[in-house]
Amino acid sequence: MVSAQDVQALRRATGAGMLDAKKALEEAGGDVERATQILRERGLASAAKRLDRESAEGTVALSLLDQRAGAIVELRCETDFVAKAQDFVNTANEIAAAVATEGEEAVGKFESIIEDLRLSLKENIALGRVVRFEAGDGEVVSGYLHVQADRGVNGVLVQLRGGSEELAHDIALHIAFARPRFLAREDVPAEEVERERATFEAAARNSGKPQAALAKIVEGRLDGFYKEVCLLEQGFVKDEKVRIRDLLGGASIVRFAQVEIGR
Which CATH number does the domain housing residue 69 bear?
3.30.479.20
Q: Clarify whether residues 105 and 150 are in a common domain.
A: yes
Q: Are residues 40 and 137 in the same domain?
A: no
Residues 72 and 142 in one domain: yes
**β-strand partners of 119:** none
Q: Residues for the chain: how many in total?
A: 263
Same-domain pairing of 196 and 214:
yes
Quote the CA–CA distance of 16 and 46 in Å, as a whole number: 8
In the prediction, which pLDDT does 102 show? 96
DSSP 126: E
Q: Assign residue 33 the CATH number of its domain.
A: 1.10.8.10
Task: Specify the pLDDT at position 45.
Answer: 61
What local confidence, expressed as pLDDT, does residue 212 receive? 84
Are 150 and 88 contained in the same domain?
A: yes
| pLDDT reported for residue 55 | 61
Distances, alpha carbon 2 to alpha carbons 24, 36, 153, in Å? 10, 14, 41
C-alpha to C-alpha distances, 3 to 30, 38, 232, nearest whole angstrom: 9, 18, 54
The predicted structure's pLDDT at residue 251: 97
pLDDT at 53: 56
The angle at the Cα of 236, spanning 235 to 238, to the nearest 5 degrees, equals 130
| Of the candidates 156, 140, 163, 154, the residue with the CA atom closest to the CA atom of residue 256 | 156
Q: 172 with 243, same domain? A: yes
129 and 235 belong to one structural domain: yes
Whole-structure pTM value: 0.77
Co-location of 14 and 95 in the same domain? no
**pLDDT attached to residue 152:** 96
Number of separate domains in the chain: 3
Q: Does 158 share its domain with 87?
A: yes
> What whole-number distance in Å separates Cα of residue 43 and Cα of residue 211?
72
pLDDT of residue 36: 82
- Rounded CA-CA distance 59/155 in Å is 10
pLDDT of residue 20: 82
| Residues 254 and 170 occupy one common structural domain | yes
- Are both 179 and 218 inside the same structural domain? no
Residues of the chain with pLDDT under 70: 12, 15, 41, 43-55
195 and 175 share one domain: no
CB 149 within 8 Å of CB 119: no
Instruction: Determine the Cα–Cα distance for residues 33 and 17; give it in Å rounded to an integer.
Output: 17
The alpha carbon of residue 119 and the mean position of all alpha carbons in its chain are separated, in whole angstroms, by 24
- Output the pLDDT for position 46: 54
Domain that holds residue 41: 4-52
Give the dihedral of Cα atoms 212, 218, 220, 221; nearest 10 deg: 150
